[in-house]
Chain A
Amino acid sequence: MFADLPLLSLLIWVPIIGGLLVMLAGSGRTGLEAKVLALLVSLLTFALSIPLFTGFDTGTAAMQFTEFKPWIAAFGINYHLGVDGISMPLIVLTTFTTVLVVIAGWEVIKNKPAQYMAAFLIMEGLMIGVFSALDAMLFYVFWEAMLIPMFIVIGIWGGANRVYATIKFFLYTFLGSVFMLVALLWLYGQADSFAILDFHALPISATAQIWIFLAFLVAFAVKVPMWPVHTWLPDAHVQAPTGGSVILAAIMLKLGAYGFLRFSLPITPDASQTLDWLMIGLSLIAVAYIGFVALVQRDMKKLIAYSSISHMGFVTLGFFIPWAIAANTGSFSGAGLGISGGMVQMISHGFVSAAMFLAVGVMYDRMHSREINDYGGVVHVMPKFAGFMVLFAMANAGLPGTAGFVGEFMVILAAFQANFWIAFVAASTLILGAAYTLWMVKRVIYGEIRNQKVAALKDINPREFLILGVLAFMVILLGVWPAPLLEVMDVTVQQLVEHISVSKVPAGAM
């Protein structure tokens, strides 16, 4: 029954139009109508994304649920949508997370709740647009448009220093995008088409590939974010409201990583090979350097933000490990493990980081402080919450049986096949991740109550229990049974590995 529906279009436009309606409905004082409507829209969108998962054909790497309509015929720009094993899980993650964000903001957002909800719904549609666009211009439009609601969310509902954070966030990401636009236009000139799949097939000289790769790198590295263009993230997180942080960590960071998979790897495989040392190096810096930086943070949100950067290092490491494996062992066997591992890490980080930011949000709503030193002994007043927090912390530290383990495990296994020392540095996350996460848990959750304000805290209410409970379920499910997720990705990843293992440099050209 769903086969005839333009599912992807619905997934993009239902939340966007729904968001506009929510804004209109928001004239009421409490905004209750708007909130109910927002919840319904987000639930409907989530429901619409389920047939995407259940109806997905795991046997093919071809694009599915495709839609095609000419848009600006003169430039060959089309409204072209479709998903494969790389993008589909990210769309479901987006619709799932948005529902949580709407519920999480229910009582907390007192100031213009309707506009707040609307911003997230519109953002959801735009992000799904990014994940499903198969036309480079369409992709670019969604990519840029998506910045606006996030800019607004941080700018209006953010903390004290929100203006600095928003401007930093906007300039960083916008600057990156400009380079991407140039690269896309150049590719259009070569391929005479804006179809991303045409870009994949396009032979490009080695030098041109380097330039294109670097242009994409600027755009995507900022989003991921990779060291050294990461410093906007802690600022943005600290200033963003909880919902903003959740979407930022769970989805927006994934857009950069998705860009690498959709553009950099398949369009410029030779440049990726040439520059893989750079990417691996930056990824390892993210894992180790940022791990140490996270250790000494005093602000919980900053700590989790740095931990996000460190975890995203595994994503980029997994994506760029294939050529190092091939150089070491002479075959690309094991490359798929790395790329799949990176993708699993994206999804699992989506759950775990969302959970961590929501957990900090629960405390912030009560105490209006994110300082670790203001807490201590929370377990004595909020035992249920403490249980969730410890679970999520363990997932953040990559404990087997939780989502956080799967991706890191796969990437480390793959990295070992490339080089012992790459795996060595990557595996240091086992110690560092546990150190910064558990040290925070120790100081916040355990110990004696030192602050009178902590003594007065109330445990989580049913709404908060629901959100954290659903996430806890997902974190454990993905940890003990990641097979369905891998099944969705596997064929697409294998096809990608085959694609990147063949040079795209035209014969005879240099």
Chain B
Amino acid sequence: MFDSIQDISLYIVLAPLIGAIIAGLFGGQIGRVGAHTVAILGVAISFVLSALVFKWMVFDGMEPQNFSVYTWLVSEGIRFEIGFLIDELTAMMMVVVTFVSLMVHIYTVGYMSHDEENWPAGSKAGTNSYQRFFSYLSLFTFSMLMLVMANNFLQLFFGWEAVGLVSYLLIGFWSSRESAVFANMKAFLVNRVGDFGFLLGIAAVLMYFGTLDYASVFNAVEHHKDMTITIWPGSEWNIITVIGILLFIGAMGKSAQVPLHVWLPDSMEGPTPISALIHAATMVTAGIFMVARMSPVYELSEVALSFVLVIGAITALFMGLLGLVQHDIKRVVAYSTLSQLGYMTVALGVSAYAAGVFHLMTHAFFKALLFLAAGSVIIAMHHKQDMREMGGLRKYMPITWLTSLIGSLALIGAPGFSGFFSKDSIIEAVGHSTIPGAGFAYFAVLAGVFITALYSFRMYFLVFHGKERMDEHTRSHLHESPRVVTVPLILLAIPSVFIGWAYVGDMVFGDFFINAITVLPEHDVLSEVGFTSAFGMLLHGFVTAPFWLALAGVGVAYYLYMVRTDLPAKIVQLPVIKTLYAILQRNYGFDAFNNLVFGRGSRGLGTGLWKGGDTMLIDGLLVNGTARLVGWFSSVLRRVQSGYLYHYAFAMIIGLLVLFGLFVVA
């Protein structure tokens, strides 16, 4: 039965693609029901087959599969292929991607059912927007699968940019909104900055390894660990370090690590289903996946690992802080995503790839859940997203409330929930790490636990408990969302609770990823953690610092937003806090800096080069200057051509005399 894996993997990627093409090109003909049926069917096929592959891989002992589908091009004997590598890491990603995608597809049926209201009257782009949305969702699933199933860097880059494209299309989906079409361009451009590094990394791989095939590169990487490249005269860089850092710059764009994180909060302009699917569960974790996939490379460079670690720690801590000052419900979840991506990156930096990938998986479930629940709240609130106008929603929306609570508990790492197992593994691993930056990272991830609990439960209390602060009209229409919305919430809540318990032993501390992830013995922090069983970990969880920090966070949130609701406003007026608050509200000034330096700077440079270089210097001085010179010269010459016969006769005689004279002299 494993023989057919090649065909099956093709079906897995093609089913959503076909769904996307049909829903996109023929959306007008097949109508809304036709479009969402074909899109959901495509992703469902993909999910079922992915689950089958996962079963074969994990339970039936199938060997990792590595095969080529077709040859993209051959030049100079270098083959660029499109092909799949399916091992445990891929299989897990395939299941996560297709499952979350399927949930989001179903949810979208409810969320986008009144999408015509989001378009200006008479907009033709709004007529089939529902179908187009499904087409994009399925196209995204296809692209993401191409990314995770790639067996070479070229296809990785292909998927990498393709998910970026779909992200662009979906952030700017409501294309009449100026903020949305600004956010999508920003997202694409910031990602392109990352891809710029990524592409150079790929070029370095090709130069030193002569191939872009993963397996060949990983097999040869040992022999290249002492090679150097001269970046500028007199500075030799280890080639593995250079490749690692360049590739990671790509990951910083896609997985929104500081300072390339600026696009993610703005991406919330897109409809909520895509925030859940693309900007929380799957696409933004592509960078994490990539580094884990490249573990044989990263293991050989402590410099690159340290770089990864420090960037991740900064992201985990400082982006979490921003979650505290948001009023928009989606923005809180967005900053929380940034912070959690930082945790995953930290795990990669200390060589605990398995823990990072495991957190990726648990996070995919509970963060998709939190986003979809936020979306459910937004539907009930008639597309208002300001938490200051919410409160007390628990009694109106019981399913949304309960699933949100589960998601929040998983997010803060409450013992027993999936996030507990993954996050605690990371924190423990960082504690055991000795690579440069680990001390700072340990502080960052611990402090992050408190902050995560604080902003998560701030949001939870503000939305579901306390006074009902919405206007009367909204209140009178509050009700639980339809079943297409609540069923995905419930289906996502289940793994948010149990998946950690079920898999932490195998995935993080066992040999689940033994074929996919390489860790050098001296970096193997996870084996030092001393794991016995999930139950043992759970018991231990109650006596560790993270538990008390999380509890403190919840407690503070309860006190500030349930008991003394007047306090937050007073706290931010305190002298030092006021300054800090202002800094946080301005996102540390990243946006202002980028607008000034990169936005206005590059436009200024462009104008300077255009007006100064092209128009003044080249055209003004050289081209038209030459023309003027010729014009002036001919105006002089014109005087000579007077038209009088005797002038010409005179000139001829003079000329003849001169010639004659020369002849005689010679």
Q: Which residues of A contact B175 (CB under 8 A)?
A: 377, 379-380, 445-447
- The yes or no answer to A173 lying at the interface (CB within 8 A) is no
Q: Which residues of A contact B120 (CB under 8 A)?
A: 380, 448-449
A416 interface neighbour in B160, B203, B230, Cβ under 8 Å:
B203
Q: Which residues of A contact B619 (CB under 8 A)?
A: 231
A413 contacts B623, C-beta separation under 8 Å:
no
- The yes or no answer to B384 lying at the interface (CB within 8 A) is no
- The yes or no answer to B609 lying at the interface (CB within 8 A) is yes
Q: Which residues of B contact A297 (CB under 8 A)?
A: 610
CA of A28 to CA of B126 in the docked complex: distance in angstroms?
44
Q: Which residues of A contact B606 (CB under 8 A)?
A: 292-296
Q: Which residues of B contact A485 (CB under 8 A)?
A: 73
Q: CB within 8 Å of A: which of B155-192? A: 157-158, 160-162, 165, 168-169, 172, 175-176, 178, 181-182, 185, 188-189, 192
**Known A413-B202, A442-B181, A483-B71; further 17 A-B contacts with Cβ < 8 A:** A231-B618, A289-B609, A292-B609, A293-B606, A337-B78, A377-B176, A380-B125, A382-B124, A383-B124, A383-B128, A413-B206, A427-B200, A431-B193, A447-B178, A448-B176, A486-B74, A493-B76
- The yes or no answer to A399 lying at the interface (CB within 8 A) is yes
Q: Which residues of B contact A335 (CB under 8 A)?
A: 76
Chain B interface residue bracket vs A: 35 or more
**B267 CB, min distance to chain A CBs, angstroms:** 15
A400 contacts B76, C-beta separation under 8 Å:
no
Q: CB within 8 Å of A: which of B580-639? A: 602-603, 605-607, 609-610, 613-614, 618-619, 622-623
**Interface membership of chain B positions 634-653, coded 1 if the CB is closer than 8 angstroms to chain A and 0 otherwise:** 00000000000000000000
Q: CB within 8 Å of A: which of B229-255? A: 229-231
**B194 CB, min distance to chain A CBs, angstroms:** 10
**Interface membership of chain A positions 446-475, coded 1 if the CB is closer than 8 angstroms to chain B and 0 otherwise:** 111100000000010000000000000000
- The yes or no answer to A434 lying at the interface (CB within 8 A) is yes
Chain A interface residue bracket vs B: 35 or more
Which single residue of chain B is at the shortest CB-CB distance from A459? B124
**B14 CB, min distance to chain A CBs, angstroms:** 13
Stretch from A69-77, A254-262, A417-425 at the B interface: A417-425
Which single residue of chain A is at the shortest CB-CB distance from B175? A446
B206 contacts A481, C-beta separation under 8 Å:
no
CA of A29 to CA of B178 in the docked complex: distance in angstroms?
48
CA of A413 to CA of B175 in the docked complex: distance in angstroms?
36
5 pairs, A vs B, C-beta closer than 8 Å: A334-B207, A340-B76, A420-B229, A446-B172, A446-B181
CA of A382 to CA of B622 in the docked complex: distance in angstroms?
43
- The yes or no answer to A428 lying at the interface (CB within 8 A) is yes
A400 contacts B157, C-beta separation under 8 Å:
yes
CA of A294 to CA of B610 in the docked complex: distance in angstroms?
8
A293 interface neighbour in B185, B196, B200, B609, Cβ under 8 Å:
B609
B188 contacts A438, C-beta separation under 8 Å:
yes
- The yes or no answer to B219 lying at the interface (CB within 8 A) is no
Q: Which residues of B contact A442 (CB under 8 A)?
A: 181-182, 185
DSSP majority for the B interface?
helix
A435 contacts B602, C-beta separation under 8 Å:
yes
A383 contacts B125, C-beta separation under 8 Å:
yes
CA of A296 to CA of B5 in the docked complex: distance in angstroms?
51
DSSP majority for the A interface?
helix
Given A289-B609, A435-B602, A416-B192 contact (CB < 8 Å): no
A333 contacts B76, C-beta separation under 8 Å:
yes
10 tightest A-B contacts by CB?
Answer: A416-B203, A336-B76, A296-B606, A380-B123, A292-B606, A446-B181, A295-B606, A400-B158, A486-B73, A293-B610
- The yes or no answer to A430 lying at the interface (CB within 8 A) is yes
**B569 CB, min distance to chain A CBs, angstroms:** 36
Q: Which residues of B contact A333 (CB under 8 A)?
A: 76
B618 contacts A296, C-beta separation under 8 Å:
no
Q: CB within 8 Å of B: which of A377-433? A: 377, 379-383, 386, 390, 394, 399-401, 406, 409-410, 412-413, 415-417, 420, 423-424, 427-428, 430-431
Q: Which residues of B contact A424 (CB under 8 A)?
A: 200
CA of A400 to CA of B150 in the docked complex: distance in angstroms?
14
Q: Which residues of B contact A490 (CB under 8 A)?
A: 74-76
CA of A417 to CA of B182 in the docked complex: distance in angstroms?
37
Given A292-B609, A296-B610, A420-B231, A394-B124 contact (CB < 8 Å): no
**A12 CB, min distance to chain B CBs, angstroms:** 30
B610 contacts A340, C-beta separation under 8 Å:
no
**B171 CB, min distance to chain A CBs, angstroms:** 11
A482 interface neighbour in B73, B185, B188, B189, Cβ under 8 Å:
B73
**B196 CB, min distance to chain A CBs, angstroms:** 5
**Interface membership of chain B positions 113-145, coded 1 if the CB is closer than 8 angstroms to chain A and 0 otherwise:** 000000110111111100000000000000000
Given A427-B200, A487-B74, A416-B614 contact (CB < 8 Å): no
- The yes or no answer to A228 lying at the interface (CB within 8 A) is yes
Q: Which residues of A contact B126 (CB under 8 A)?
A: 380
- The yes or no answer to A499 lying at the interface (CB within 8 A) is no
Q: Which residues of B contact A337 (CB under 8 A)?
A: 75-76, 78
Q: Which residues of A contact B614 (CB under 8 A)?
A: 231, 293
- The yes or no answer to B72 lying at the interface (CB within 8 A) is yes
**A498 CB, min distance to chain B CBs, angstroms:** 12
CA of A487 to CA of B72 in the docked complex: distance in angstroms?
11
Enumerate chain A interface residues (CB-CB to B < 8 A). 168, 228, 231, 289, 292-297, 333-337, 340-341, 377, 379-383, 386, 390, 394, 399-401, 406, 409-410, 412-413, 415-417, 420, 423-424, 427-428, 430-431, 434-435, 438-439, 442, 445-449, 459, 480-483, 485-487, 490, 493-494
Q: Which residues of B contact A415 (CB under 8 A)?
A: 203
Q: Which residues of B contact A296 (CB under 8 A)?
A: 603, 606-607, 610
Given A400-B158, A420-B231, A431-B189 contact (CB < 8 Å): yes
B185 contacts A400, C-beta separation under 8 Å:
no
CA of A417 to CA of B165 in the docked complex: distance in angstroms?
29
**B283 CB, min distance to chain A CBs, angstroms:** 15
A416 contacts B75, C-beta separation under 8 Å:
no
B71 contacts A427, C-beta separation under 8 Å:
no
B73 contacts A406, C-beta separation under 8 Å:
yes
**B21 CB, min distance to chain A CBs, angstroms:** 11
**B477 CB, min distance to chain A CBs, angstroms:** 28
CA of A493 to CA of B74 in the docked complex: distance in angstroms?
12
Which single residue of chain B is at the shortest CB-CB distance from A436? B606
A448 contacts B200, C-beta separation under 8 Å:
no
- The yes or no answer to B435 lying at the interface (CB within 8 A) is no
A434 contacts B206, C-beta separation under 8 Å:
no
Residue of B127, B189, B203 with most chain A CB atoms under a 10 A cut-off: B203
A416 contacts B200, C-beta separation under 8 Å:
yes
**Interface membership of chain B positions 12-37, coded 1 if the CB is closer than 8 angstroms to chain A and 0 otherwise:** 00000000000000000000000000
B76 interface neighbour in A381, A383, A494, Cβ under 8 Å:
A494
Q: Which residues of A contact B160 (CB under 8 A)?
A: 400
Q: Which residues of B contact A294 (CB under 8 A)?
A: 606
B75 interface neighbour in A289, A336, A430, A434, Cβ under 8 Å:
A336
**B575 CB, min distance to chain A CBs, angstroms:** 42
**A305 CB, min distance to chain B CBs, angstroms:** 11
**B524 CB, min distance to chain A CBs, angstroms:** 33
**B252 CB, min distance to chain A CBs, angstroms:** 14
- The yes or no answer to B70 lying at the interface (CB within 8 A) is yes
**B111 CB, min distance to chain A CBs, angstroms:** 22
- The yes or no answer to B199 lying at the interface (CB within 8 A) is yes
**B302 CB, min distance to chain A CBs, angstroms:** 22
- The yes or no answer to B195 lying at the interface (CB within 8 A) is yes
A481 contacts B203, C-beta separation under 8 Å:
no
